[in-house]
Structure 1
Amino acid sequence: MGRFLRKWVHARVLTVVLALLGIQLGSLIAPAYACGCGAMIPGARQQVGVDREESVVRWDGRQEQIVMSLTVGGDADKAAWIMPVPHRASVKLGDPELFTQLRTATAPVHRDRYHFWPQDGDWPLVTGDDSGASFPGAGAPQGVGVVGRQKLGPFDVARLTATDPAALNDWLGSHGFVMPPRLQDALQPYVDQHWEYVAVRLAPDRAGAPLAGTLDPLHLTFASGRPVYPMRLSRLARTPQSLGLYVLAAHRMRTSSAIGGERPRVTYAGRVDTNWGPLSALAKGAPYLTAIGQEFPRPSSISGDHELRRASSDTPFEQVVYDDHLRTVAGIPAWLLTVVGTLAVLVTAVAVFALRRSRRPEPAHTGVR
């Protein structure tokens, strides 16, 4: 009976492990139609995922610029990226050095902090080591207008208007891409607001090779009386999403709401002090840099786009990472010297007390016979 029970338990555990593994693999190979700003559509029976996305929004009160860098992976040898924009956009290639400068400018400040008693990782509390082709020139179906076409490096860019998501779907289909029904529904609010779209065909440098790695940044510019970062399409994502957004403006900025995610957090705020490179050029007229991070545990709860507002003050902020060090004296932990010294004093005191007690003369005994 005991042997049967153990076999049954082992079989159940194996079943659960295999089920969990299947779920994880399914999440890895499922087509990722949503990314932080726009939607990625692979070819038929192919998968493509956005492993990492970095974006910067620059707004000077009249014009908005969005620079995006995508790192993609999967088995797709082609994909289309669709991004809604409130007004007609111009598109050009961005400079990858921009994001290197932004990461450097907003990196946490490291400061040393010393502690007396040992913490995890200090002796004796060591727990272990930390160890292609382009869009054809066919005419667009009714309801879709092609207002611009251009070739930018590995990208074929088309700027579109659409009065009906189904028309946009038909246009994509005529170019070899299938828009899932959920994406078609998600685009309806943009159609209702008369937004336009930037459609980008992505193709690897070598024909037939899968899309992989960090793509060249795309730089979009359009008129905007208020800064907005399109996020609505991210509600189609099947896994939790993270937003990392840089904002360049005249003042410190904030999001107007959480739009269904966790509370947005400012990870950096301050004026740009560099006078070289693409960051300096982009910051002219919008010198204040705000870095915002946010988590979306349930993307389906995303309720709209991020509207950006001026913060109540331009108070600078930077993250501080403390590097903890155990206080030492001549390479020896101070706590150990203190403990050993205290024990030595106590042992010495006890020894002195015992020695004095042993040398004390015994009192004379008197008795009455």
Structure 2
Amino acid sequence: MRRIRAARVLAVVLTLLGIQLTWFLSPAWACGCGAMVVDPARRIAVSDEQSVLRWDGRQEQIVMRLTVTGDAHRAAWIMPVPHRATVRLADPAVFDQLAQAVAPVHRTRHHFWPRDGDWPFDDHADGAAAAPAPGAGAVGVVGRQRLGPFDVARLTATDPAALDHWLRANGFTLPARLRKALEPYVAEHWEYVAVRLAPDAEGTALGGALDPLRLTFAADRPVYPMRLSRLAGTPQSLGLYVLAAHRMEPSTSIGGLPPRTVFAGRLTAPHGALGALAHGAPYLTALTQRFPRPARISGDHELRRSGTDTPVRQVVQDDELDRIAGIPAWLLTVAGLAVLLAAAIALAAVRRSRRPVLPPPPVSPPPPLA
């Protein structure tokens, strides 16, 4: 047990060291859907990223909410999109509704004999828990707006150097690694959504959950940009909700482990923020995927209709010890058997003590001598 705990402590320490090294060695933080750029003297990390992709056959929407930590007072978030996009603030309640929709079903499974975690085997339980027609060489600002704490610019560019110019004009430096990672998008004439993040209070570091943004653009097939995640220095996890007319799946694994479908099913009478987003795209698919080596990410996730609309839902088996009046049934059974055995032994002893003692047979006199 000491070795297991020591290994866990070592794993946590190494993870923290990896995060610190990532902060100090790279001023660009790659998330599942874009990249964050900060002042090289500052650091920022995205501790949580939630995304939902909606596609109705003609138009795609991506709703994202990032939770950030660090000491940066401002940052820029770069998001490539295949067509010109509109940007709006989204309702954060949609993520709570999605989490409720895909929550696992809990079923109780009773067991008679005690297991690890049940008395008397609970003394060592440690509570460990079992995711853009651009002008040559220049940036075209096709729109700029203020959305809450965000200064949003929609840009076109044919050369990453043009994006570099815009970032410098707004107080940021385009890292060389990010410039190279953007080249495939430039070659395919994608556009960019560049968002300047700043907290509401002057001089306050960025932190906590940011307001979610909703990007809308034309799409003849659903695509989730992932290429910039190649920049990440630590293993990455993808958690993606997909709303469409049918169950969806990634076309390939793009260099990660095989994607898993943790939920699939039609939403019945969704309401509120989720109801508005799911209108015309009522089938929800929840996907997860691990990328142990982000440098192997080979492209963006292109999604396609699955061969079946069979529902999928996780089932969590909650093991529960059988009890009678709050007392473990096995303990009552063992105690009862012990009492019965003791009673049987006592009864046998009493019967033996009450058994009459027979007198010895008479001794016959010796025969007379002749």
What root-mean-square deviation, in Å, do the aligned CA atoms of Structure 1 and Structure 2 show? 2.7
Q: Is the Cα–Cα contact under 8 Å of residues 136 and 159 in structure 2 kept in the other structure?
A: no
In the TM superposition, 1:43-58 aligns within 5 A as: 43-58=39-54
Q: TM-score, normalised by structure 1?
A: 0.86
Corresponding residue SS for 2:216: strand
Q: Is the Cα–Cα contact under 8 Å of residues 137 and 161 in structure 2 kept in the other structure?
A: no
Corresponding residue SS for 1:33: strand
Q: How big is each residue's C-alpha offset from its partner over 1:228-259, in whole Å with a ceiling of 9 and x where there is no partner?
A: 10011011111111111000000111111211
Whole-angstrom distance in 2 between the partners of 1:365 and 1:281: 106
Q: CA distance change for structure 1 residues 330 and 165 in 2, over 3 Å: closer, same or farther?
A: same
Shift of 1:117: 1.2
Q: Name the structure 1 match of 2:231.
A: 236
Q: Name the structure 2 match of 1:6.
A: none
Could you tell me which of 157, 172, 175 is aligned with 1:162? 157
Q: CA distance change for structure 1 residues 22 and 83 in 2, over 3 Å: closer, same or farther?
A: closer
Q: Within the alignment, does 1:26 sit opposite 2:7 as a pair?
A: no
For 2:92, give the aligned amino acid: P
Shift of 1:164: 1.2
In the TM superposition, 1:31-180 aligns within 5 A as: 31-127=27-123, 128=125, 130=127, 142-180=137-175
Structure 2, unpaired ranges of 5+:
1-9, 129-134
Could you tell me which of 306, 310, 320 is aligned with 1:311? 306
Q: Name the structure 1 match of 2:182.
A: 187
Q: CA distance change for structure 1 residues 337 and 222 in 2, over 3 Å: closer, same or farther?
A: same
For 1:249, give the aligned amino acid: A
Whole-angstrom distance in 2 between the partners of 1:198 and 1:25: 27
Shift of 1:23: 3.0
Whole-angstrom distance in 2 between the partners of 1:283 and 1:108: 21
Q: TM-score, normalised by structure 2?
A: 0.85
Q: Is the Cα–Cα contact under 8 Å of residues 32 and 49 in structure 1 kept in the other structure?
A: no
Q: Name the structure 2 match of 1:263.
A: 258
Q: Is the Cα–Cα contact under 8 Å of residues 32 and 47 in structure 1 kept in the other structure?
A: no
Q: Name the structure 2 match of 1:13.
A: none
Q: CA distance change for structure 1 residues 340 and 145 in 2, over 3 Å: closer, same or farther?
A: same
Q: Name the structure 1 match of 2:341.
A: 346
Whole-angstrom distance in 1 between the partners of 2:169 and 2:259: 40
Shift of 1:43: 2.2
For 1:47, give the aligned amino acid: R
The number of aligned residues is: 345
Q: Percent identity?
A: 63
Q: Is the Cα–Cα contact under 8 Å of residues 106 and 317 in structure 2 kept in the other structure?
A: yes
Whole-angstrom distance in 2 between the partners of 1:145 and 1:363: 124
Corresponding residue SS for 1:183: helix
Corresponding residue SS for 2:295: helix
Q: CA distance change for structure 1 residues 189 and 339 in 2, over 3 Å: closer, same or farther?
A: same
Q: Which moved more, 1:349-358 or 1:172-181?
A: 349-358
Corresponding residue SS for 2:97: helix
Q: CA distance change for structure 1 residues 182 and 225 in 2, over 3 Å: closer, same or farther?
A: same
Q: Within the alignment, does 1:197 sit opposite 2:192 as a pair?
A: yes
Q: Within the alignment, does 1:213 sit opposite 2:213 as a pair?
A: no
State which structure, 1 or 2, has the greater radius of gyration over its C-alpha atoms: 2
Q: Name the structure 1 match of 2:7.
A: none
Q: How big is each residue's C-alpha offset from its partner over 1:175-219, in whole Å with a ceiling of 9 and x where there is no partner?
A: 211111111111111111111111111111012211111111110
Shift of 1:94: 0.7
Corresponding residue SS for 1:194: coil
Structure 1, unpaired ranges of 5+:
1-15, 132-139
Q: CA distance change for structure 1 residues 360 and 259 in 2, over 3 Å: closer, same or farther?
A: farther
Could you tell me which of 275, 283, 287 is aligned with 1:288? 283
Whole-angstrom distance in 1 between the partners of 2:110 and 2:28: 46
Corresponding residue SS for 1:346: helix
For 1:200, give the aligned amino acid: V
Whole-angstrom distance in 1 between the partners of 2:180 and 2:289: 25
Q: How big is each residue's C-alpha offset from its partner over 1:106-138, in whole Å with a ceiling of 9 and x where there is no partner?
A: 11222222211112221111125649xxxxxxx
Q: How big is each residue's C-alpha offset from its partner over 1:295-325, in whole Å with a ceiling of 9 and x where there is no partner?
A: 1122112111111111111111211222222
Q: Which moved more, 1:24-33 or 1:231-240?
A: 24-33
Q: Name the structure 2 match of 1:3.
A: none
Q: CA distance change for structure 1 residues 234 and 22 in 2, over 3 Å: closer, same or farther?
A: closer
